[in-house]
Amino acid sequence: MQQFDVLILGSGLAGQSLALRLADSRRVAIVTKRHIEDSASAWAQGGIAAVIDPADSTKSHFDDTMVAGAELCDPAATRFVVEHGNAAIQWLREQGVPFTPDGDTPWGMHLTREGGHSHRRIVHVADATGAAVQETLIDRVRRHPNIRIFERHIAVDLIVGNKIGKPDAGCLGAYLLDIDKGHIHPFAAAHTVLATGGTGKVYLYTTNPDTATGDGVAMAWRAGCSVANMEFIQFHPTCLYHPQAKSFLISEAVRGEGGLLKLPDGTRFMPQHDPRAELAPRDVVARAIDFEMKKRGLDSVFLDISHKSPEFLHEHFPNILARCAELGIDITRQPIPVVPAAHYSCGGVAVDLKARTDVPGLYAIGETAYTGLHGANRLASNSLLECVVFSEAAAQDILSNPRKAVDMLPAWDESRVSDADEEVVIAHNWEELRRFMWDYVGIVRTNKRLERAQHRIRLLTREIDEYYANFRVSNDLIELRNLVVTADLIVRSALKRKESRGLHFSRDYPQTLKRSRPTVLRNPRRPGRLRSWVFG
């Protein structure tokens, strides 16, 4: 059995920043399914939103977030994040993150603007901010003597006290599968943190890496946690459409710097859908593209920034320019073919302002968590900010509330299972799940589509549970099991919302209610203890 002070499941910005804040005084384990470099954080192009310019204000950032979130953001959480934005950027600079400079400003960093923001407040590293941040932090994480990295390991499930005869013990750690060796071991920890990222792979088309299989949400639900706002799935409006391009998104910043959305004949269409045109929030833009594609039978629309100089494009979007050039698209002269794709989950494991879940000793940060910041739609570049701010909040709470890891945990029991006889079952169920989620629970929804999806989820759940009970677990089986739980929570949440708001658009309920609340699914196995705004 491995034993640590803090067990962090996930290696993105949230998990790494938390580890660095704790490691001077705690023994920390970071667990990642592939390699530490593989996370959605590393794929983030746009940047990090924070109030840096004195002409800007936290009130303006707060207001922009609330508007983008369709007034469903939690005010306390939103205020907490935006007020800590400047400090989060300064912490990252202290770690060595090389934000794009601007010597003409007192603060020394270039600020760009993205859809939904009323000011330039996005600090960035060209068009590969996430990769630059991750590269900087990974170097520090690898060199810290108190941090151990477990690559090619995946959590099978959390270990909670009520499952081993200690009902008041809270979370005691997790069972981890060594993917290469096939062995499962218990990892004991005083504090366990879910930082496993998002749920994008539940959909057929996504900008997310293959690791985004809803692991944290599913494990937390099985452990007794509540989840909230799972119906709000953000579809990035501009994913590159090309048969050889997998999950490559075209940053929000392209539209922020003047990119125009056009039909194949060169006609702009966004002004007909929203007065903010290309600078409207992502949900508005994604629905507009979806509408135009379905109305006209298009495979894609086009994002054109060729009116900018080649020098400007080389400076601001070198990675997008290079990737498109590899595929034969010269963005200095040609528009970029784009389609919407599942991008970000605004819901997740319900936490308080200290990142605590319902289960004592268990925290959730990053995209896995529902903090209340994003409401019904995430404002561009708020997510990386949330990772840093809530990692700090979690670190402070962990350091202020010492717990002792247990000395012994039961071993994983494989005495009644055998090797899988037909792995094709997993592949088939995976494809079926992602296909009907895209068709029935996508950008535009109806009750009938949701009910069809729910029926298929129930059938798949029975098949997967039977398979899980009889055969040795594998990485693919664990991910499929988590995906079907996540899909179920998304559909159940969508059926509960009787309106259209933000990212959730229903043809049966096209109106937006005057007053609305978060959709909270409370696990009947454990009473909630979170602050009142979550549960009312």
Other CB atoms within a 10 A radius of the CB of residue 435 amount to 13
Cα separation, 85 vs 379, in Å, equals 14
Cα separation, 221 vs 218, in Å, equals 5
Nearest residue to 281 via CA among 216, 236, 342:
236
DSSP letters for 66-127: HHHTTT-S-HHHHHHHHHTHHHHHHHHHHHT--PPB-TTSTT-B-EE--TT-SS--EE-STT
From the number of C-beta atoms within 10 Å of its C-beta (0-12, 13-18, 19+), residue 422 rates as exposed
282 as an active site residue: the answer is yes
Nearest residue to 283 via CA among 245, 331, 231:
231
* Residue in the structure block whose two tokens are 């907490």: 80
The CA-atom distances, in angstroms, between 520 and each of 225, 227, 234, 445, 536 are 11, 6, 18, 19, 10
Cα separation, 326 vs 323, in Å, equals 5
Catalytic residue among 113, 255, 282, 434: 282
Nearest residue to 409 via CA among 191, 173, 176:
173
Cα separation, 461 vs 458, in Å, equals 5
Element (H, E) at 7: strand 2-9
* Residue in the structure block whose two tokens are 């895209």: 438
Sign of CA dihedral 499, 505, 509, 514: positive
> Which residues carry out catalysis?
282
